[in-house]
Amino acid sequence: MFAACSESVASAELLAAFPAAYVLQTLGGLPRELDEATRATLEYGVLGSGVRQIVVCGHHTCKEPGGALTPETSQVLVVARCRALQADDHIGPILRRAHVTMRALWLEEASRELYACDLEGRAARWMGDEDLEAMFASFDEVSA
């Protein structure tokens, strides 16, 4: 499953590259507080369709409610959204029982460079071709 920001210029290009079973596009990638529709989409993806990886993607020009964010702030936000998803009282236990892997990605839209954000809060790391190939291979392993 791929959760992306609905106002990202490059979302369509990025989404076309991922073999995602489901796409969830909302402002900011995932809402600050998960609403029932978002919870239902995530729950159905995991329990009903066997989703085992969720990729949450933020981007450089994110216009989070309240204004645009800096690149550093938007990277921190995408990691925070992943952590909030894992800690959610309803979705968190479902993700843990199903052994769902979470990934946080961040897109620098002008250059179309993709970065992996460490869920432990360390700096984002540029994803070169080898990293992207390895990530796609892991999607193939999970879906097989």
CATH assignment at residue 13:
3.40.1050.10
Q: How high is the pLDDT of residue 91?
A: 92
% of the chain exceeding 90 in pLDDT: 11
Mean pLDDT of 31-35: 71
Q: How far apart are CA 114 and CA 124, in angstroms?
A: 10
What pLDDT, on a 0 to 100 scale, did the predictor assign at position 102? Answer: 87
State residue 93's pLDDT score.
96
**Vertex 80: Cα angle to 11 and 134 (nearest 5):** 55
Give the domain range for residue 57: 2-143
Radius of gyration of the chain (CA): 14
The answer, yes or no, to whether residue 73 has pLDDT greater than 60, is yes
Phi-psi region of 66 (alpha: psi -120 to 50; beta: other; left: phi over 0): left
Q: CA neighbours within 13 Å on the CB side: how many for 7?
A: 10
| β pairing state of 2-5 and 113-117 | unpaired
Report d(CA 7, CA 19) in Å as an integer.
21
- pLDDT score recorded for residue 97: 96
Q: Quote the number of domains for the chain.
A: 1
Write down the residue that tokens 């790391």 correspond to: 125
Query: How high is the pLDDT of residue 95?
Result: 94
The mean per-residue pLDDT over the stretch 102-127 comes to 77
